[in-house]
Amino acid sequence: MPFKDLALDPRLLRSIQHLGFDKPTEIQQEAIPAVMVGRDLIVSSQTGSGKTLAYLLPMMQRLLKSRALSKQDARALILAPTRELAKQVYAQLRLLVANTPVTAALIVGGENFNDQEKILKRQPAIVVATPGRFVDHLEHKTLFLHGLEMLILDEADRMLDLGFLPQLTFINKAADHRLRQTMLFSATLDHAEVDNLALALLKNPYRVAVGAGYQQHQDIEQRFFLADNLSHKEALLSYFLQQQDINQLIMFTATRADAERLTGVCEAAGFTAVGLSGKLSQQQRNSVMQQFATGKFQVLVTTDLASRGLDLLQVSHVINFDLPKHPEEYVHRIGRTGRAGAKGQAISLVGPKDWPSLQNIEAFLRHAIEFSVVESLPARFSGVVAPMQQPKAKKKASTSAKSSKPRPAKPDTAKIKAPSYFEGGDDGSGPVRRKK
């Protein structure tokens, strides 16, 4: 894909040409379009992947194309952990602003404060800074961030390792409004503090994990099982609870009601289980998470990624009772297990409602997903959702199933007596439901 397909401003395309780059790097291809449609972004990337232009280009695009929210305040702020990195970023930025009306300034520690004050009084549109010195200026009221449109954290993990959390929190508060777009870059996303920071700063972020994100995780065995409906999913769940050697398990569900009910299913199977419901206060949620982290509960059933902030080394299993809508989330969920060299199992149940998500995950992982089968609990659903309204549901369903090419399935050899899950069919999954 050439750069021109990214629909960037011609002035930016000329600068890129000048730099001698013909096509975007992988991270640029993933990140630039997402930022250009207004998404917040969280990226795991290494230096050398082209991450700097991955944020500078869409940032410049927004500044060139949209009206400033405020005439006085900085429109974009790029924070970097070290003076060296800030200077490198600034050098790349200068090439991009050269033929545009956009102004930029570099504000790092170790340089004359008064000189910097004079620079900031000229109201640059973009500031590249290290967090400590930047907060000194904010406190000194040299500049304000009420009109900040883009906040970019480069090497967020290093900033946190260097103890800049208070400064980042201060800056976030000073620039807290709903029109702000935020991008967070980190060498790793397996960093408890980065997770917390992302939760505090980002709104429904688009996740890019170049390299590691979609490659097979060596330590996580991923298995997918087709399921006809909610009852069938529950039967499969009971089977896994009996058969698997579970140390700790995190189970993700689509709805709160399911989370509450499935907590009971796990308890009935002899596990200590807790559900994280949205009804709990933040303090209560933190307390539940702490208790899970310390091993008081074996199973955590949740609708969201509440587990982000904690390094949960005892989690041997993740079960996706329902698939997440966004494929990046799938990678993040299964990444709750197989941490720090331990082996993990990720089991995903795929019903008709999950099918679109499954297709997104397949595209994201860049390989076809194979299904495993529990021999005593086979699914009739073969991966094709028949149309919703059918007068002769039973007949059409079977036709549709035949015309589809069923996915290859790996048998799971364990045998247990099948519960009569066919009677229920209570998730409205339609034509594939069996009737007695």
17 belongs to the binding site for ligand AMP (CB under 6 A): no
Among 11, 13, 21, 196, binds ligand AMP (CB under 6 A): 21
Among 52, 229, 360, 429, binds ligand AMP (CB under 6 A): 52
Q: What is the DSSP secondary-structure string of 214-257?
A: TSPPTTEEEEEEE-SSHHHHHHHHHHHHHHS--SEEEEE-SSHH
* Nearest approach, Cβ of residue 344 and ligand AMP (Å): 30
* Nearest approach, Cβ of residue 419 and ligand AMP (Å): 53
In the bound state with ligand AMP, the residue whose beta carbon lies nearer, of 25 and 70, is 25
Short-list 396, 406, 403, CA closest to 432: 396
Task: State the Cα–Cα distance between residues 422 and 93, nearest whole angstrom.
Answer: 61
Q: State the residue number with the nearest CB to ligand AMP.
A: 52
51 belongs to the binding site for ligand AMP (CB under 6 A): yes
CA dihedral 96, 97, 100, 102 (to 10 degrees): 140
Spell out a b/e string for 22-35, using b for 16 or more CB atoms within 10 Å of the CB, else e. eebbebbbbbbbbb
372 belongs to the binding site for ligand AMP (CB under 6 A): no
341 belongs to the binding site for ligand AMP (CB under 6 A): no
* Nearest approach, Cβ of residue 3 and ligand AMP (Å): 7
In the bound state with ligand AMP, the residue whose beta carbon lies nearer, of 23 and 339, is 23
Task: State the Cα–Cα distance between residues 395 and 37, nearest whole angstrom.
Answer: 44
58 belongs to the binding site for ligand AMP (CB under 6 A): no
How many angstroms separate the first and last alpha carbons of the chain?
54
Task: State the Cα–Cα distance between residues 303 and 312, nearest whole angstrom.
Answer: 17
Task: State the Cα–Cα distance between residues 1 and 114, nearest whole angstrom.
Answer: 46
158 belongs to the binding site for ligand AMP (CB under 6 A): no
Rg (Cα) of the chain, in Å, rounded? Answer: 25
* Nearest approach, Cβ of residue 126 and ligand AMP (Å): 16
82 belongs to the binding site for ligand AMP (CB under 6 A): no
25 belongs to the binding site for ligand AMP (CB under 6 A): yes
- Residue 303 has a CB neighbour count (10 Å cut-off) of 20
* Nearest approach, Cβ of residue 88 and ligand AMP (Å): 7
Q: Is 94 in contact with 144 (CB distance < 8 Å)?
A: no
Stretch that binds ligand AMP, among 21-29, 117-125, 209-217, 377-385 (CB under 6 A): 21-29
The residues that touch ligand AMP, with contacts defined as CB under 6 A, are 21, 24-25, 28, 47-53
